[in-house]
Amino acid sequence: MSAPTNPGQWDARLLRPVVTLGITQIIGFGTIYYAFGVLVTPMGADLGLSVTWAYGLLSLALLTGSLTAPLAGRLIDRHGARAMMAAGSVGIALALALQSQVQSAAALLAALVMMELIAPLVLYDAAFAALAQAVGSNRARRAITLMTLMGGFASTVFWPLTLALVQGWGWREACLAFALLHLLVCLPLHLSLQRNARRAAVADTAPPRYAPLPQAMHRRAMLGLSVGLTLSWAVFSAFSAQWVPALTALGLSQASAVWAGALMGPAQVGARVLDMVFLGQRHPMITALVAMGALMLAFAVLALGPATTATVAVFAVLFGVGQGLGTMVRGTVPLALFGLVGYAARLGRLASLRMVVSAGAPFAMAGAIALAGPEATVLLAAALAGLALLAFWRVPWRMQA
């Protein structure tokens, strides 16, 4: 069973939803996450909060957001991504407007919690479901790859944009500007998605490229997938947050650590392009295994070699490859294993795990470095990556290939 082979029809059907959701993901990630790193210093000074305390409030908000991710997935399955993402745009706009008016740490926490409770309706997992509903199972993989390529520019756009807004107007005005972006750009774009796409995709007569696993294998497959993704998310989120402190603890200069970190972005984009070109016709679990292999190899390089600029550059590229492919895997593998029915609900359950891990892993890594040292922490990360690879390998996907 294969996907349709008419290239013109195939690409034309992908173009509109990919570009639409690519734009909303740039704005979504840019305003909900990346902007915070620029806003935190002036916002903390205004509210009498240290940067550490401000990030602590964000972590607490992330934990509360994990509670609504499964519900968001069920709502998207039931009512369609178009309606729920549009509602999410309005909710995020209100949360940003509230953030612009806060006068205390408690009020800031309330605004951040509101934002994180609604975020699962507008970010990647919702967008993955929207693409699957819009273009069907067979085309969804390439659509997800192309959309994540666009979404990868969120930091490139919003770090300098947020800095310009803060310097020109102030952090409160920046939050209001972001609220307007969600109302005036994201809301209309989400409403422009095809009506009844969910029913059309489920009723699509074209057989899926990979028949969903038998119901009796769902529990085993979901368990292996959950373990593999959770372990890899722990490593990705911990090292992304503690990149400079971890590498400087290994003996690298701060400037070299920052320079190495700049290699991650191009590595992520390059890995997604190469996956689309060379692995696009293979089972997406192959991509998952490549991602976990790259992650494990990255830490092996860091553990076995001296922390020089060259070895850390190799580490950064391999880490970026694993992270770039890992973002796609969380959308493509569940669709291939289980099919479109209940897809968003499964993504919601996985997103709940990811949010909990993302909130706690950076603190756990800081504690590991302090208690056991950076070298032992790198070895622990390599072991976790290896266990993630093993968990993915044990998922019963080969019967589909």
Contact 229, 284 (CB under 8 A): no
pLDDT in tens, 139-190: 888 899 999 989 888 888 888 899 999 999 999 999 999 999 999 999 999 9
Residue-averaged pLDDT of the chain: 88
pLDDT of residue 285: 94
| 374, two tokens | 């950076």
The amino acid that residue 195 corresponds to is: R
The answer for residues whose C-beta is within 8 angstroms of residue 19's C-beta and 6 or more apart is 150
| 245, two tokens | 């402190």
pLDDT of residue 8: 37
The mean pLDDT value for 248-260 works out to 85
pLDDT of residue 108: 96
Contact 225, 333 (CB under 8 A): yes
Contact 115, 61 (CB under 8 A): yes
| 389, two tokens | 């690879």
Higher pLDDT, 242 or 144: 144
**Domain extents in the chain:** 7-202, 215-394
Provide the sign of the torsion angle of the four alpha carbons 187, 192, 195, 197, taken in this order.
Answer: negative
pLDDT band at residue 199 using 50, 70 and 90 as cut-offs: low
pLDDT band at residue 3 using 50, 70 and 90 as cut-offs: very low
Cα 3 from Cα 106, distance rounded (Å)? 52
pLDDT in tens, 270-285: 999 999 888 878 899 9
The mean pLDDT value for 344-373 works out to 88
Cα 351 from Cα 120, distance rounded (Å)? 8
R_g of the chain computed on alpha carbons: 21
Tell me whether residue 396 is exposed, middle or buried, using C-beta atoms within 10 angstroms of its C-beta: 0 to 12, 13 to 18, 19 or more. Answer: middle
Cα 234 from Cα 354, distance rounded (Å)? 8
pLDDT at 9 over 60: no
Residue of 264, 138, 271, 145 whose CA lies nearest to 210: 138
pLDDT at 201 over 60: no
3-state secondary structure of 35: helix
| Residue corresponding to tokens 């003996």 | 251
**4: number of Cβ within 10 Å:** 12
The mean pLDDT value for 322-326 works out to 93
pLDDT of residue 6: 41
pLDDT at 4 over 80: no
DSSP 8-state assignment for residue 67: T
The mean pLDDT value for 225-251 works out to 89
Q: What is the dihedral of CA 303, 307, 312, 314, to 10 degrees?
A: -60
Cα 221 from Cα 146, distance rounded (Å)? 26
- The yes-or-no answer to whether 7-202 and 215-394 have a common fold is yes
pLDDT of residue 11: 58
The amino acid that residue 384 corresponds to is: L
CATH superfamily of 7-202: MFS general substrate transporter like domains (1.20.1250.20)
| Percentage of residues of the chain with pLDDT beyond 70 | 94
Contact 59, 359 (CB under 8 A): yes
pLDDT band at residue 10 using 50, 70 and 90 as cut-offs: very low
pLDDT of residue 233: 92
Spacing of C-alpha 24 from chain mean position: 14
Cα 200 from Cα 37, distance rounded (Å)? 41
pLDDT of residue 364: 86
Cα 105 from Cα 54, distance rounded (Å)? 8
pLDDT of residue 5: 40
Contact 179, 96 (CB under 8 A): yes
Cα 50 from Cα 35, distance rounded (Å)? 17
pLDDT of residue 401: 60
Please, where are the H alpha helices in 100-217?
105-118, 124-135, 137-151, 154-168, 171-181, 187-191, 197-202
3-state secondary structure of 263: coil
pLDDT at 136 over 50: yes
3-state secondary structure of 15: helix
pLDDT at 376 over 90: yes
| 130-139, 189-198, 243-252, 293-302: range with highest mean pLDDT | 293-302
Residue of 250, 251, 262 whose CA lies nearest to 381: 250
Higher pLDDT, 239 or 173: 173
Residue of 273, 293, 244, 231 whose CA lies nearest to 146: 273
pLDDT band at residue 264 using 50, 70 and 90 as cut-offs: confident
pLDDT in tens, 71-116: 999 999 999 999 999 999 999 999 999 999 999 999 999 999 999 9
pLDDT of residue 219: 92
Helix axes 309-338, 264-274, angle to 10 degrees: 40
3-state secondary structure of 283: coil
**CATH class, range 215-394:** mainly alpha
Cα 365 from Cα 209, distance rounded (Å)? 40
3-state secondary structure of 324: helix
HEC-encoded secondary structure of 75-109: HHHHHCHHHHHHHHHHHHHHHHHHHCCCCCHHHHH
pLDDT of residue 202: 52
pLDDT band at residue 198 using 50, 70 and 90 as cut-offs: low
